[in-house]
Amino acid sequence: MPTSDRHDVPDEGGGGRPGIRATAVRAAGAAVAALEQLVGGLGTALMALLVLVWAAVAAVTSLVGVGLLMAPLVLRALHSLAGRERDRLGRWGPEVMGPDPAPTAVRLALVDPTTRRELRWLARHATLGLLLGLGGLLLPLLALRDTLFPLYWRLLPEGATSTSLGIGVAETWADATAAALLGLGWTAIILGLSPGMARLQSRPGRLLLAAGPDTDLSLRVAELTATRAAALDAHATELRRIERSLHDGTQNRLVTVTVLLGAARRMVARDPAGAEELLERAQSAAEQALAELRSVARGILPPVLADRGLAGALTGLAASCPVPCRIDVEAPERCAASVEATAYFVVAEALTNIAKHSGARQAAVTVRSRGGRLLLDITDDGRGGAGGSSQAVGSGGEKGGTGLTGIRNRIAAHDGTLELASPPGGPTTLKVELPCGL
């Protein structure tokens, strides 16, 4: 069964080379996540610049009345862009809770504190956020250009500059090597400064787009109450499953062992051969009870998570799945044990339902760790049609099971998100985001 595993958990013990390697992996992972965040912020910064120019034009032309007609559209664009930025920041860190919907009428907007805060954010994000986003985009290009310069410098026209700064001309290999050293300097800047740049870019949004202290958070309280109820339901369901497994399986096996041992003890004097046969049956029943106990224990919290990490645990799931499954994990840092357990059970439930209901020929599980979030992507090429609160992942039509309900409850307990796309005919894609919870 084809599987691939690109997860590399560094050995953090004992110092020396493993410690250096672990530090380098963490620094590289943080830099890559920061660059992704900066480039994502560049997109909203460009839109912020357009909205800012539009708002300025509307303000100037309002003197002749034209701007008053554009103002409601500008305000809608502002509120929509602010909501988009809240969602983006929520994907890269703590959720940014927005205030009540802001007005789009001009008179109300002039005195609305939310609109004024969004305008202040707009001005900052369209300037400083734009510059930081451009830095996040250009720095890797500059590093790549200068680091690889010795490979192509002889192909450049005579007199062409040897560095991305536009300074110097490469005439010898020493000049080309000096340009490559500048590329290493760009790389060091990326590793050292990009996380701070990302925080600086996101700070105005977290300060100005969040709900103020006077905002009514009753909806959020209601959402958290529902989330807690879902978590308690999921916990109760899990306890019932464990109880049924112990009562219907293991307990019956142990009762059988007791009965057989009692019968063998009574027969040992008058029928040694029959007693030996009963003892063999008792041993077989005891072995089956032990196997069922191990299965129940793995269902509570798989020990493979602690021994081999999430990548190893998911690789084991793929190996036992009847549908060929590819596993691709890139999560340099470990998440909280409860989060990894939730991710494991989500993938286990999804693969089980794919094998039972989808008719798929192959499946794939991709796991990424980005900005304090664990991202799961589970796909199959089956018949599709999964969906609804009572549909199983990978199921076809209304005859699917209730796997998705259990997955939703587990994810809700961590305040995560779930997206399911399963058009008739397939493919089915399940996307899950979980906070790492460290």
User: Residues 394-434: pLDDT tens digits?
Assistant: 333 333 345 677 777 778 777 788 888 888 877 888 888 88
* pTM > 0.85: yes or no: no
Alpha-helical segments (H) within 2-65: 16-61
Position 235 confidence tier, pLDDT thresholds 50, 70, 90:
low
Contact by Cβ (8 Å): 23, 347: no
Task: Kindly state the average pLDDT of the residues 69-93.
Answer: 88
- Amino acid letter, 162: S
Task: Kindly state the average pLDDT of the residues 146-174.
Answer: 76
Position 231 confidence tier, pLDDT thresholds 50, 70, 90:
low
Average pLDDT score over the chain: 78
Position 275 confidence tier, pLDDT thresholds 50, 70, 90:
confident
Residue 354 or residue 414, greater confidence: 354
Q: What element of type H or E holds 435?
A: strand 428-435
Place of tokens 């899950």: 432
Q: Residue 387's pLDDT is what?
A: 58
b/e per residue 259-285 (b: at least 16 CB within 10 A): ebbebbeebeeeeeeebeebbebbeeb
User: In whole angstroms, how far apart are CA 258 and each of 168, 274, 295, 408?
Assistant: 88, 16, 22, 42
Q: Residue 216's pLDDT is what?
A: 56
**Residue 17 CB: number of other CB atoms within 10 A?**
9
User: Could you write out the DSSP letters of every residue in 189-226?
Assistant: HHHHHHHHHHHHHHHHHHHHSSPPTTS--HHHHHHHHH
Task: Kindly state the average pLDDT of the residues 157-176.
Answer: 74
